[in-house]
Amino acid sequence: MPRIFSGTVFSSAEGVSLPENGCGITVGNFDGVHLGHQEIVRCLIESVRPLGLPSIAVTFDPHPAALLCPNQPKLSLTTIDRRVSLLLALGLDAVCVVKTTPELLNLSAEQFYQEALRECFHPAAIVEGEDFHFGHNRQGTLAHLRRWSERDSIALREVSAVQVDGVAVSSSRIRALLEDGDVAKAAELLVFPYALEGRVVRGQRRGAQLGFPTVNLHDVHTLVPLEGVYAGVATTACGDRYGAAIHVGKNLTFGAVEQTVEAHLIGFSGDLYGQFVEVNFSQRLRGTEKFKGPQALVEQLRSDVLQVESLSQLNLKAPQYERVSLTSAAFSR
């Protein structure tokens, strides 16, 4: 009985569907969408556009690690929606999100190549990074892929790792920087500044009482950087952008025990409850600390906001991806 692979294909063009007559593909998790991913996408587009073929990234949801290591949960750097949007912003024609199943993860390397790639996508070209592995227990290597693609007359292009400061750019490297609070260095490795998104909920309203109202973000499903105060940019659901002072952590001055993500939007007044807001992290200003009382906290907040205001012009000019409406179609093969 043939296996069934299912998922969703996304595009910024109308009438999206999986190609039947050849395409170029790159396969990976693409978590964070960093400079190495950007180079792979650039090479893919460069390889297939002269042939008049569409360029497609194939990724997976949920992340395979969620099924392979369920007792060791690890938050992603991007939601699947943001990952799709960032990849399409690099110029791809489509992103195919394949549903991760135990059956898929148990395929041998040759089965994965033959059934999940060759028969599903009919690729004329495949582009992958030098550390690409695939199939059960990551047993497949570029050497395997090279041998099988040559046999099937599929062009294979291998892309060397992008290096910054002599070290390869990787999602794990970016994760470690964020966990250390070094969002500025992480931004050097990412195509776009690190961001997370959450739904605005009612908090204790202490910020408003102190003269610095904040949006309190809930339902954040990606990695949150180290506790501290950051300068960055907040983007509302309607696309308005503001310099933002972002606090990650517990409100120690008031004895809070729950970690929160809050942002004070410079120059904003209004109500965003129930809406989703995205915050980009640009610089870490300081760690969290317990102040002697509300007045000491207010004085520090004034200083933080002045720093954020001085950085906002620079931060608002940082690269951002253009938000476009996407079309999608389910597939099953």
| CATH code, domain carrying 213 | 2.40.30.30
Q: Is residue 105 part of a domain?
A: yes
Rounded Cα distance between 262 and 228, Å, is 11
| pTM of the shown model | 0.94
- Whether the CB-CB separation of 118 and 154 falls below 8 Å is answered with yes
Alpha-carbon dihedral angle through residues 289, 293, 295, 299, given to the nearest 10 degrees: -10
Q: What is the domain count for the chain? A: 2
87-144 tens-digit pLDDT: 999 999 999 999 999 999 999 999 999 999 999 899 999 999 999 999 999 999 999 9
> How high is the pLDDT of residue 1?
44
Q: Which of 153, 145, 13 is nearest to 91 (CA)?
A: 13
- Chain length of the chain: 333
The closest alpha carbon to 132, from 153, 152, 146, belongs to 146
Structure tokens at 125: 């070209």
- The residue range of the domain holding 17 is 6-161
Closest to 38 measured CA to CA, from 4, 78, 88:
88
- Same-domain pairing of 150 and 106: yes
Residue 163 has pLDDT above 50, yes or no: yes
Strands (E), 130-259: 155-159, 163-164, 167-168, 195-201, 215-218, 228-235, 241-249
For a pLDDT cut of 90, what percent of the chain falls above it?
78
Is the predicted pLDDT of residue 82 greater than 60, yes or no?
yes
User: Do both 134 and 217 map to the same domain?
Assistant: no
pLDDT in tens, 193-231: 999 999 999 987 887 788 899 999 999 999 999 999 999
> Cα–Cα distance between 147 and 126 in angstroms, integer?
13
151 and 245 share a domain? no
| Residue (of 19, 24, 51) closest to 154 by Cα position | 24
**Over the chain, what is the mean pLDDT?**
92
The verdict on residue 168 lying in a domain is no
CATH number, residue 120: 3.40.50.620
Cβ contacts of 107 within 8 Å, gap of 6 or more: 3, 115, 116, 135, 136
Q: Are strands 163-164 and 241-249 parallel, antiparallel or unpaired?
A: unpaired
Residue 323 domain-assigned (yes or no): no
Who's near 302: CB < 8 A, 6+ residues apart?
none
Strands 24-27 and 125-129: what pairing?
A: parallel
Average pLDDT over residues 152-175: 97
Both 105 and 23 in a single domain? yes
| 198 shares a domain with 141 | no
pLDDT one-digit tens code per residue, 234-281: 999 999 999 999 999 998 888 877 899 999 999 999 999 999 999 999
With beta carbons less than 8 A apart as the criterion, state whether 103 and 2 touch: no
Do residues 315 and 234 touch, judged by C-beta distance below 8 A? no
Q: What confidence tier does 65 reach under pLDDT thresholds 50, 70, 90?
A: confident
Distance CA 224, CA 61 (A): 20
Neighbours of 256 (CB within 10 A): 14
pLDDT confidence tier of residue 2, bands split at 50, 70 and 90: low
Q: Is the pLDDT of residue 188 over 70?
A: yes
